């Protein structure tokens, strides 16, 4: 309706009509504004939360996981070193190089595969925290160097320092981890743990690192004496029912199984000498010698000539050598009868071996020869050998017929050979093989005369033990796979029946 009088016309809007709807553009602008507001608020809230206890907890868990992985890797590498060391401990100088290299390659592959499985994985626990990121990166770098066969020495230090910082930061202790087992060399170690494939019936008494050990060759078993007070044993003689051992002059009776008790026999200032009685030993000082049994009971006693002491028995006599230090040009050898106290000078030289019938010695001067003296008659005869060699050590078989003697050079230990002489004919034979031995330190026959046990220095490696099988004129030497950590400083004391 229009008004008169010049007034402006106005539209009349019916209440029954709906107002026009707002445009789509206006509605979208309002909705988007509200959504961005909530997203922004959520991000701020998340950052606030992650910057607090939750973030610290995630980082702490990450450090614990990295520490367990790294300490397991370290144990794994130490186990690899241990297993490889055990392999080397069992090898002989005569083994082909491939035995070690091929086994070491298999062990390396097994260890590397285990390290790959221990590599730290990604995740929010590490990327949310700078310290854990650095630690993870250091471990990853170390593992990559190891996989490439490069030195990890510097990388190991980097990981150790980074991990120590994080453990200290969260007041955490080093985790305890189980040492991983490596099995790729199990079959090799089992095979190499057998001392020999021969059947010898021989047991060897050793002194090694202030311990007394019994090596059962056929059973590949080593028994340590379970007795207090043995100390540093320097000599031993196998008797019928016990082992006589000497430590700083104290002679004791030790059971053949090396178990307690240890029975004191007496004191000696000279070498321990087997007695005439099969269960006795001779003890001596500068004035007298006494034969005592395993309980220390005196069986016989005899005064000694001045400046002489017994070093061996031969038949029913004691072999005496000079005990006084002086300017003598020769070393007189004397046979002493303890019953009649009669002395017989049978030569000047170095005693090599004795038996119930013979004394074998090397003269102080003269041509290349050995003297074999019949201790019953006092007569001697010669055994000749190559001029460029000299006898270094010797031992006579239990039946008294054969002499085993190591022949070497006067001015050096290396390059020795082992010869066997028939003491009746003087005929000599050598070894069918040398077993890679450079020098022989000790020779000792088994009670049945079928084997000669020896300790020797191979061309490569420390002291080793071996046996020579005696079959007529053929003599075959074999090194025993007794672990090197046992034989390296071992002294062969006796062959035990």
pLDDT at position 9 is 41
**Considering only CA atoms, which of 150, 170, 141, 211 is closest in space to residue 65?**
170
Cα diameter, the chain: 178
Beta bridge partners of 292: 281, 298
> What ranges do the domains of the chain cover?
53-191, 192-496
The secondary structure of 400-466, three-state, reads CCEEEEEEEECCEEEEEEEEEEECCCCCEEECCCCCCEEEEEEEEECCCCCEEEEEEEECCCCCEEE
Q: Buried b vs exposed e over 238-252: b needs ≥16 C-beta within 10 Å?
A: bbeebbbbbbeebbb
SS3 content of the chain, % helix, strand, coil (to 5): 30, 35, 40
pLDDT at 397: 96
Helix (H, G, I), strand (E, B) or coil at 290: strand
What CATH architecture applies to the domain 192-496? 7 Propeller (2.130)
pLDDT in tens, the chain (497 residues): 444 444 434 333 343 444 455 454 444 455 555 666 666 656 545 555 555 677 778 888 889 999 999 999 999 999 999 999 999 999 998 899 999 999 999 999 999 999 999 999 866 566 678 888 899 999 999 999 999 999 999 999 999 999 999 999 999 999 999 989 999 999 999 999 999 999 999 999 999 988 999 999 999 999 999 998 888 999 999 999 999 999 999 999 999 999 999 999 999 999 999 999 999 999 999 899 999 999 999 999 999 999 999 999 999 999 999 988 766 778 899 999 999 999 999 999 999 999 999 999 999 876 788 999 999 998 999 998 877 788 889 999 999 999 999 988 766 656 788 999 999 888 999 998 878 888 898 999 999 999 999 999 887 778 899 999 998 888 999 999 999 999 998 999 999 97
Q: How is the beta sheet containing 358-363 ordered, strand by strand?
A: 308-314, 317-322, 332-337, 342-354, 358-363, 369-374, 380-384
Nearest residue to 191 (alpha-carbon basis) of 111, 77, 79, 86: 86
Q: Rounded distance, CA 417 to CA 430, Å?
A: 8
Helix 153-169, helix 53-90: angle, nearest 10: 140
Q: pLDDT (tens digit, 9 = 90+) per residue, 389-415?
A: 888 899 999 999 999 999 887 666 567
Tokens of 151: 């030195």
CA angle at residue 313 from 208 to 439, to 5 degrees? 40
Q: Give the residue ranges of DSSP H helices in 119-183.
A: 124-127, 130-147, 153-169
Whole-angstrom CA distances from 357 to 77, 276, 391 are 60, 13, 20
Cα distance between residue 161 and residue 148, in whole Å: 23
Of 456, 446, 484, 345, the C-alpha closest to 393 is 456
Secondary structure of residue 371 in the 3-state scheme: strand
H or E element at residue 82: helix 53-90
């Amino acid at each position: 309706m229009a008004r008169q009088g010049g007034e402006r016309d106005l539209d009349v809007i019916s209440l029954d009509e709906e107002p026009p709807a707002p445009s789509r553009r206006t509605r979208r602008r309002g909705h988007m504004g509200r959504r961005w507001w909530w997203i922004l608020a959520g991000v701020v809230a998340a950052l606030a939360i992650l910057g607090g206890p939750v973030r610290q907890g995630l980082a702490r868990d990450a450090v614990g996981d990295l520490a367990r992985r790294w300490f397991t890797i370290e144990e794994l590498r130490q186990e690899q070193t241990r297993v490889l060391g055990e392999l080397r401990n069992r090898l002989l100088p005569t083994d082909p190089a491939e035995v070690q290299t091929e086994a070491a390659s298999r062990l390396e592959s097994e260890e590397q595969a285990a390290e790959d499985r221990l590599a730290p994985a990604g995740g929010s626990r590490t990327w949310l925290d700078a310290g854990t990121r650095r630690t993870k990166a250091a471990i990853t770098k170390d593992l990559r160097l190891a996989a490439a066969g490069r030195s990890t020495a510097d990388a190991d230090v980097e990981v150790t320092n980074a991990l120590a910082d994080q453990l200290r930061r969260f007041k955490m202790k080093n985790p305890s981890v189980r040492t991983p087992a490596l099995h790729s060399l199990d079959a090799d170690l089992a095979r190499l743990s057998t001392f020999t494939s021969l059947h010898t019936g021989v047991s060897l008494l050793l002194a090694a690192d202030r311990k007394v050990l019994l090596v059962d060759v056929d059973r590949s078993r080593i028994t340590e004496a379970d007795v207090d007070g043995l100390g540093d044993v320097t000599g031993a003689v196998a008797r019928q029912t016990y082992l006589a051992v000497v430590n700083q002059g104290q002679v004791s009776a030790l059971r053949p199984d090396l178990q307690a008790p240890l029975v004191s026999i007496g004191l000696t200032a000279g070498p321990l000498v087997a007695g005439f009685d099969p269960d006795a030993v001779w003890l001596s000082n500068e004035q007298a010698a006494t034969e005592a049994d395993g309980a220390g009971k005196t069986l016989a006693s005899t005064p000694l000539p001045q400046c002489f002491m017994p070093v061996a028995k031969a038949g029913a006599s004691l072999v005496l050598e000079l005990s006084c230090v002086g300017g003598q040009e020769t070393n007189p050898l004397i046979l002493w009868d303890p019953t009649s106290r009669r002395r017989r000078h049978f030569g000047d030289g170095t005693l090599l071996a004795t038996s119930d019938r013979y004394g074998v010695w090397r003269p102080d001067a003269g041509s290349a020869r050995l003297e074999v003296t019949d201790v019953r008659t006092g007569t001697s005869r010669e055994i000749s050998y190559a001029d460029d060699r000299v006898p270094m050590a010797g031992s006579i078989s239990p039946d008294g017929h054969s002499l085993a003697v190591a022949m070497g050079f006067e001015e050096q230990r290396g390059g020795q050979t082992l010869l066997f002489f028939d003491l009746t004919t003087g005929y000599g034979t050598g070894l069918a093989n040398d077993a890679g031995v450079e020098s022989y330190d000790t020779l000792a026959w088994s009670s049945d005369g079928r084997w000669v046990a020896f300790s020797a220095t191979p061309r490569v490696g420390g002291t080793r033990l071996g046996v020579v099988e005696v079959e007529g004129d053929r003599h075959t030497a074999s090194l025993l796979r007794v672990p090197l950590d046992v034989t390296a400083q071992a002294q062969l004391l006796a062959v035990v029946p």
